[in-house]
Structures are given as C-alpha cells and as structure tokens.
Amino acid sequence: MIPIGAVTGMVVVVFSAPHAYAVSHARPAFAPDSFWYRPVPRDVALNPDSTNYVREFLRQLHAYYGTVGINTSAYSSPVYVAGPQVPTQPVVQWDCHGNGYVDHGLAEQWAAVPIPPYARPADGTDAEMTIYQPSTDRMWEFWQARRVDGKWQACWGGGMQNVSQNPGIWTQRYGSAATGLPFAPGQITVNDLRSGAIRHVMGIALVDAQKWDIFSWPANRSDGYNPQNAPHRIPEGLRFRLDPSVNVDSLPIHPVAKMVAKAAQTYGFVVWDKAGSISLRFENPKDFTLVGKDDPYSDIWAGTPTYRVLAGIPWDKLQFLPDNYGKP
C-alpha cells in the first residue's frame, strides 16, 4: 500500500551546515507556463500518424522485454538541493568520447558549483547527477560524473541560471539528455507517489527513435538513429498521452500504474532520450539513503517486482500529439 501525504514535489536533501542536514520538499521550479506543468486538453487534435506511432510503440514494447521499465538507483538522476552556504567548486569536463577538445561554454557554466559533500551520481554507466540551489535560482546537470582525487569531473551536462523563469529546456547543445530536456521535472518523485497523483509531464525513453535530424519541440536536438529509414519511427521530443476515455480506476493494475496512467491521460509523456528499453525515471533513492533514510521503494512497490509495476497499462490506447505540440 502506498503511503499518502499532503505534499508534492521531490524529496531532496538540503545541506545547511557541516554535518547538519534537513529535508526539503522542493524540486526545481521552472516557469509556471512551462509545458511540463500544462495539462493536455481532452479534445486536442491528434497527430495524423498517431495510429502508426502506436503500432511502433507496441513493436518496441514487445521487442524489448515486453514491459515499460522503471529506473531508480541507476539511470535516474539524483537531485541534490544545496543551501546558500554550500561551498562552490569547479567541475571539469573530461573528454569521455575522445574528441580531443572540451567545451569552453560548459567550463564557464561549471566554474562554481555548490555540490553537497554527500552527493553521489546515479549508478550505471550514465552516472547522472543534478544540483539545484533555490537561493541563486540555478541548476546544474552532469552526465558521466565522477570524483577523481577529490575533485569533480563530468563528460557533459549544463548550468542553468534563472531556473524559475526558464521554460524547462536547456540552451541548445547543453543538458545531459539527448533532447536538451532536463531530467528533474520529468522524473516521477516519491512525493508524487505519496501524494496520490503525478502532476506533470513524464519523460520517457524509447529504444528506436527517428533519425537525429528529425525531432519535435520541446526537444532542441536528438540522438535518434534510423539508418534503414524504417517507417513511422517516433521522433524524439514528440508528446503522447493515454486516451482520456479509458477508465483507469477499473483496471486491475498496481496503484503506481494507476497514477502513471492517470498522469498519462492528463499531462502525457515526452520522448526525452533513448535507452535499452522503453523506460520511465523515478526519483533516485540516493536522495534518501545518502542521509541515512530508508529506501522508500520497498513500501511503494509492496512486494511487486519493478518489471511488473506498470504491467496492465493499456499501451494500445495511446494517442500521439502533433509535431511541435505546444510550441510558443
């Protein structure tokens, strides 16, 4: 059974003084009119290729493990909230791709980052990490982050100023995801689940995406790969939802699956990256365990294996929205 609470947002840790930690219920708050927070109208026009995109989604679902996966400790970015007194330090770009150069703009964005001393990147080869500082209205995102001789490095990511006025999209070429969409607003948080409702667009990764030069707003780039020009590949950045006429409460599915399905009807998904399976990112439990709290997911899953939590959602009832849906 999922515990129900009265708060929403991400449970994250605030560093307030040496060896003194407090819990905050804030997540990075982007501009109020950001697409991340806007419900999709029930009578919205659909993409003319929606039926074919649904078939393609189902093809990938069956070809890659037969389920929509849930990422928690690996391939889900922990989000650490830094108080105003956390000392800053530079984060150096390391050339993980062997390109022979580094990005000078990234060096400027990472020149002074307030990283709490307990922070650790996600498990897995992507080693993502996000730092958010409400007092300066700034956020930093890192991909393949690591500490070498006590100093932080990362292969890619970005630094964002004026977060509260930002539409929730990185400046072109920056950010960890291939689409330029930050991970923090599209991950499903523990407080989302404890509150009983997910009130934002959910980021989703596909396996096979349309080629890199075809993408949809809010993405500003893509790493799609379709060398054989297979028809009806779904572009990165495209948004889709679950048919709002589906009676989710009548479905015999896990309580978390019902929350995901209802959010999919109201806010929908955005394709924000590629992965080894179709997958959603849930809040990383490092947000809890690194400050001595229990991993919350044993209670939330209630004995159900993670690969079964989203089973039974009627993925054949998806509806794809038009290209560039919601673009200003």
Question: Domain map of the chain by residue range?
Answer: 12-320
DSSP bridge partners of 152: 147
Does residue 14 carry a pLDDT above 80? no
Residue 290, pLDDT > 80, answer yes
pLDDT at 218: 98
CB 103 within 8 A of CB 158: no
Structure confidence by residue, pLDDT tens digits, 46-105: 999 999 999 999 999 999 999 999 999 999 999 999 999 999 999 999 999 888 988 999
3-state secondary structure labels for all residues of the chain:
CCCCCCCCCCCEEEEEECCEEEEECCCCCCCCCCHHHCCCCCCCCCCCCHHHHHHHHHHHHHHCCCCCEEECCECCCCEEEECCCCCCECCEECCCCCCCCCCHHHHHHCCCECCCCCCCCCECCCCCEEEEECCCCEEEEEECCEEECCEEEECEEEEECCHHHCCCCCCCCCCCCCCCCCCHHHCECHHHHHHCCCCCCEEEEECCCCCCCCECCCCCCCCCCCCCCCCCCCCECCEEEECCCCCHHHCCCCHHHHHHHHHHHHCCEEEEEECCCCEEEECCCHHHHCCCCCCCHHHHHCCCCHHHHCCCCCHHHEEECCCCCCCC
pLDDT at site 291: 83
Least confident of 1-10, 124-133, 156-165, 226-235: 1-10
Q: Is residue 226 predicted with pLDDT exceeding 70? A: yes
Average per-residue pLDDT for the chain: 92
pLDDT in tens, 232-276: 999 999 999 999 999 999 999 999 999 999 999 999 999 999 999
Greater confidence (225 vs 98) lies with: 225
**CB burial class (10 A; 0-12, 13-18, 19+) of residue 312?**
middle
Q: Is-contact 215 206, C-beta < 8 A?
A: no
Residue 164: CB partners within 8 Å, gap ≥ 6? 29, 30, 31, 137
Contact of 288 with 208, CB cutoff 8 Å: no
Beta carbons of 68 and 314 less than 8 angstroms apart: no
pLDDT of res. 101: 87
The predicted structure's pLDDT at residue 199: 98
Q: What is the reported pLDDT for 5?
A: 32
Please give the average per-residue pLDDT across 139-143, as a whole number: 98
Using CA atoms, how far apart are residues 67 and 255, in angstroms rounded to an integer?
A: 17
- How far is it, in rounded angstroms, from Cα 21 to Cα 293? 12
The pLDDT of residue 318 is: 98
The confidence score (pLDDT) of residue 12 equals 39
Q: What is the pLDDT of residue 180?
A: 98
pTM of the model: 0.92
